[in-house]
Amino acid sequence: MVEIDRPILEAVERQARRFGKTRGAQASALLEDYAELIDDLHAAAGEARATDIARRLGVSHATAIKAIARLKREGLATAQPYRGVFLTEAGRALAGRVRARHLLVVALLRAVGVPGEAAELDAEGMEHHVSEATLAAFARFLKR
């Protein structure tokens, strides 16, 4: 394990900012995962039904319905009875950004020797917590 020098306690404002960033990322991760999956389902099957979304995310139908309602409130999706869920332009843009982050994180993990399946699993959580500055550094590293 690599040892990193860091004080036991950081300055209050710095530590609060760090933990706040994590909470914010966790709150948006759910919407991002749903948007990416809905986009993938449309690309592969031509539709995204709540039942399929729930099954692929491993959640209950009720949980998927609540998340879809949140996507709608945020202006990221629309839904029509018996027709499934559709991403708005903003929802499709979000899905594209999330997919690009995921692929970049996977590529970095693979470049440092993480096996494929582990890289995919780890990237699924990391992609929501990585800053734009860190993503840019990942991209620069991979170009070398």
Per-residue pLDDT of the chain in tens (144 residues, 90 and over written 9): 666 666 676 777 777 776 666 666 666 888 999 999 999 999 999 999 999 999 999 999 999 999 999 999 999 999 887 789 999 999 999 999 999 999 999 999 999 999 999 999 999 888 888 889 999 999 999 998
| Nearest of 122, 127, 117 to residue 36 by alpha carbon | 127
Report DSSP letters for the chain, one per residue.
Answer: -------SS--HHHHHHHHHHHHHHHHHHHHHHHHHHHHHHHHHHS---HHHHHHHHT--HHHHHHHHHHHHHTTSEEEETTTEEEE-HHHHHHHHHHHHHHHHHHHHHHHTT--HHHHHHHHHHHTTT--HHHHHHHHHHHH-
pTM of the model: 0.80
Domains, the chain, ordered by start = 12-143 (1.10.10.10)
Residue 126 CA to residue 124 CA, distance in Å, equals 6
Interacting residues of 38 by C-beta distance below 8 A, sequence separation 6+: 48, 53, 71, 77, 85, 86, 87, 91, 95
Predicted local distance difference test score (pLDDT) of residue 122: 94
